[in-house]
Amino acid sequence: MKLRLSYGRIIVLLGILSLVLALSACGSTQDVNSDQPIVPTKPTSGQGSTASQGSTPVAGQAPTSTFSYKSAIITIVSTDQQKQFKDDDQSSGSMVVRVNIHEQNPTEQSVYVTYDQSARLILPDGRSIAPATKASSVIEPGIVRNSWLDFSVDSQQDLNKSILRIGTENEHQMNISLASNRDLTKYQARSITPNTKVQYGVNWTVAKVTTSLSADGEQASTGNRYIIVTLQANNATEADFYPTPSENIRLKSNTAVQAPKSTTLPGSIAAHSNGTTGTVTFLVPENDSNLQLQFLAQPKEGINAAYANFQIWVQVA
């Protein structure tokens, strides 16, 4: 009898111990005194592999509402139409269509945007309306501001079927839908990074190639676009090198060979220098995508011609 009682007690004690251990495991899933940080189950906003960096759009606006005109960055913020806006004394008509915009000049030079000449509201029936605008046509370097374009119309319009056309008849025009689901990616600048090496007097690298409808405060002319080539030079020689892009650098496309429109390369690449960087900008036919950067031969200097080939998207508008 005494032996059976001992076994019974042992079984009871083992059962109680098992229950205590189970409850302890359920109530303690993480050691709060551990030196390891607590990993959240949901990634923090702006972190993780999907986060990206770049220019920041206006709060609440999709990046596809932004475009560049004459090097100014313009964002369509919102649209509205009323019989009269309190701050508008220039419009006349039964209704006023207002396009609220955000303007930014990221360049180091003044940008001149004359909306009365370069902006038109294209109504669903095809009529073209010129605007009356609030802001000055001059956007100084570094300026960030809000503005609007007002258009006088004879009746309420379906803005989802209306277009804001930017650009004069002689410029590369952009037809911007006023629908809320607009997508302006085809008008935005895009870049590739060939990192092609070229030996031409010094060692050159074609670091980046950008396609854009505007550059240096100008809009590309009708049927053309800008190609902006960023070059980096290392000069390991004993003498300064003079690149003179206007005479020695060309861009060959499918249908033309173009001299530079502008450059930011210095006049000389100093001897024993590394990392001298600058851009060379060309105006090329908009549908030419196979491009060749040509460094022309300088026989008197004993410098042979050199070439760098690359392909970039056709920026269809």
The predicted pLDDT at position 9 comes to 54
Name the pLDDT band for 92 (thresholds 50, 70, 90).
Answer: low
**pLDDT exceeds cutoff 90 at 304:** yes
Residue of higher predicted confidence among 73 and 56: 73
The predicted pLDDT at position 314 comes to 80
**Alpha carbon of residue 158 to chain centroid:** 30
**Alpha carbon of residue 37 to chain centroid:** 37
**pLDDT exceeds cutoff 70 at 153:** yes
pTM assigned to the model: 0.77
For the residues 93-115, what does the mean pLDDT come to?
A: 93
Alpha-carbon gap, residue 89 to 14, rounded angstroms: 90
Widest distance between CA atoms in the chain: 119
Alpha-carbon gap, residue 280 to 262, rounded angstroms: 6
**pLDDT exceeds cutoff 70 at 198:** yes
The predicted pLDDT at position 64 comes to 73
The average confidence (pLDDT) of the chain is: 83
List strand residue ranges (DSSP E) for 247-298, in order: 249-252, 257-258, 262-263, 273-285, 290-295
Alpha-carbon gap, residue 5 to 13, rounded angstroms: 12
The predicted pLDDT at position 89 comes to 64
Residue of higher predicted confidence among 128 and 315: 128
**Helix, strand, or coil (residue 8):** helix
Tell me which of 3-17, 61-75, 183-197, 232-246 is least confident: 3-17
The predicted pLDDT at position 15 comes to 55
> Tokens 């999907």 identify what position?
50
Length of the chain, in residues: 317
Give tens-digit pLDDT for 13-34: 555 555 444 444 443 333 322 2
> What are the structural domains, with CATH classification, of the chain?
63-186 (2.60.40.1240), 190-311 (2.60.40.1240)
**pLDDT exceeds cutoff 80 at 2:** no
Give tens-digit pLDDT for 45-62: 222 222 222 333 334 444
